[in-house]
Amino acid sequence: MQSPNNLKIAIIGAGPASLTLAAILHHQNLPFTIFEAHTSLRNEGGSLDLHPATGQAALKEAGLWAQFVKHARPESDVAKAVDLITGEVYFDQNGPDKEETEGKSEEELFAGRPEIDRGALSKILYESLPEASVKWGKKLVKIEPSATAVKGKHDLYFADGTEERGVDLVVGADGAWSKVRSLLSTIQPQYSGISLIESWHRDVKSNPWLHDYVGAGTMFAFGQDCAVISQRQGDGSVRTYACLRTPEDFIQTCGIDWQDQDTARKDFVEQYLSHISEDLKWVVLECKDFSIPRSLYELPPTFTFSHREGVTLIGDAAHLMTPFAGIGVNVGMTDSLSLARQIITASKGEKTPDDALREYEADLFPRVEKAMQKTLHGKETHFTENGTKKMVDMMKGH
Site for ligand FAD contains 378 (CB under 6 A): no
The nearer residue to ligand FAD, 344 or 368, going by C-beta atoms, is 368
Q: Which of 25, 26, 33, 35 binds ligand FAD (CB under 6 A)?
A: 35
Site for ligand FAD contains 14 (CB under 6 A): yes
The nearer residue to ligand FAD, 17 or 283, going by C-beta atoms, is 17
The nearer residue to ligand FAD, 223 or 326, going by C-beta atoms, is 326
Q: Which of 215, 223, 328, 387 binds ligand FAD (CB under 6 A)?
A: 328
Site for ligand FAD contains 388 (CB under 6 A): no
Stretch that binds ligand FAD, among 40-48, 78-86, 270-278, 298-306 (CB under 6 A): 40-48
The nearer residue to ligand FAD, 16 or 387, going by C-beta atoms, is 16
The nearer residue to ligand FAD, 47 or 277, going by C-beta atoms, is 47
Site for ligand FAD contains 229 (CB under 6 A): no
User: Could you tell me if 280 and 81 are in contact, meaning their C-beta atoms sit under 8 angstroms apart?
Assistant: no
Q: Which of 18, 240, 334, 388 binds ligand FAD (CB under 6 A)?
A: 18
Least Å from the CB of residue 246 to ligand FAD: 15
Stretch that binds ligand FAD, among 23-31, 32-40, 207-215, 344-352 (CB under 6 A): 32-40
Which residues pair with residue 157 across a beta bridge? 142, 163
Least Å from the CB of residue 262 to ligand FAD: 21
Q: Is 95 left (phi over 0), alpha (psi -120 to 50) or beta?
A: left
Stretch that binds ligand FAD, among 7-15, 24-32, 253-261, 271-279 (CB under 6 A): 7-15
Q: CA–CA separation, 174 vs 180, rounded Å? A: 7
Q: Which of 8, 80, 179, 232 binds ligand FAD (CB under 6 A)?
A: 179
**Amino acid type, 104:** K
The nearer residue to ligand FAD, 4 or 328, going by C-beta atoms, is 328
The nearer residue to ligand FAD, 223 or 328, going by C-beta atoms, is 328
Least Å from the CB of residue 46 to ligand FAD: 6
Site for ligand FAD contains 13 (CB under 6 A): yes
Site for ligand FAD contains 38 (CB under 6 A): yes
Site for ligand FAD contains 22 (CB under 6 A): no
Burial class (CB in 10 A: 0-12, 13-18, 19+), 253: exposed
Query: 3-class secondary structure for the chain?
Result: CCCHHHCCEEEECCCHHHHHHHHHHHHCCCCCEEECCCCCCCCCCCEEECCHHHHHHHHHHCCCHHHHHHHCEHHHCCEEEECCCCCCEEEECCHHHCCCCCCCCHHHHCCCCCEEEHHHHHHHHHHCCCHHHEECCCCEEEEEECCCCCCCCEEEEECCCCEEEEECEEEECCCCCCCCHHHHCCCCCEEEEEEEEEEEECCHHHCHHHHHHHCCCEEEEEECCEEEEEEECCCCCEEEEEEEECCCCHHHHCCCCCCCHHHHHHHHHHHHCCCCCHHHHHHHHHCCCEEEEEEEEECCCCCCCCCECCEEECCHHHHCCCHHHCCHHHHHHHHHHHHHHHHHHHHCCCCCHHHHHHHHHHHHHHHHHHHHHHHHHHHHHHCCCCHHHHHHHHHCCC
Question: What sign has the CA pseudo-torsion 304, 383, 230, 195?
Answer: positive
Least Å from the CB of residue 299 to ligand FAD: 12
Site for ligand FAD contains 332 (CB under 6 A): yes
The nearer residue to ligand FAD, 87 or 300, going by C-beta atoms, is 300
* Subset of residues 137 to 156 that bind ligand FAD, contact rule: CB under 6 A: 139-140
Site for ligand FAD contains 11 (CB under 6 A): no
Site for ligand FAD contains 329 (CB under 6 A): yes
Site for ligand FAD contains 58 (CB under 6 A): no
Q: Which residues would be at the binding site for ligand FAD (CB under 6 A)? A: 12-18, 35-38, 42, 46, 48, 139-140, 173-175, 179, 315-316, 323, 326-330, 332
